[in-house]
Structure 1
Amino acid sequence: MEQPGLDNLSWTLSKPATMTSYNGEMWRNARGLDDAQIYTSSSRNGAWQWRGLAGLMRSSHGPALAVHDNKMWLFLRGTDGALWAATYDRDWSSASPVAGNRLTLMDEPSSASHGGNLYVMYRR
């Protein structure tokens, strides 16, 4: 399923986009310009396919992606300023706060998997 204007490399963005490789495809997520929703597309062999909205999550900043334990993880600064996470396995899970005390971020997080651990960096 294709979505005009969101399935090509000429996205117009106000915040950073994020990309990762997952299950043999390149994935990218970005925050929409007007609605703060996180849009998703993937590409196998250069043909981008619209993958819909990432769990109807909204962010005031760009998201972060990482693959860990055969799941794709998305981290974002929610519109409430807290750090939220969701996973992808054929569909996006609901977003959950990363810490019970609601970590507050200044801007977008970054994430990576290494040595069996999943890391998330952010500015407070």
Structure 2
Amino acid sequence: MTELLFSYGTLRQPEVQRATFGREVPGRDDAIVGYDLDHVTISDPHVIATSGSDRHPILRPTDRPGAHVDGMVFAISAIELAAADEYEVDDYRRIAVPLRSGPTAWVYVFAG
């Protein structure tokens, strides 16, 4: 079964995709509405080594008019989605959101 995953951050990086999914994943531009982009400091050494940074973007819901976040949507397998869950740290939780283009995709947002 194919899952849609929206990424606005490090999962778009080829090196993170290779480390997480074992391959580079083709994607297409899209956006989600009702969120603002913020940042979080990561302490997990594996995630820092994989992404090359301890500062990662994170989404926070907002009712600010016009709020949206651009990113990429990827079609991945359920096994790859589980691998993405393993990559993301406890600051994130995965939810389903509608994409600007219409379909619903998984995305990682602020867990707090």
TM over 0.5: no
TM-score w.r.t. structure 1 length? 0.24
Q: Which has the higher contact order (CA 8 A, sep 6+)?
A: 2
TM-score w.r.t. structure 2 length? 0.25
More helix by share: 2
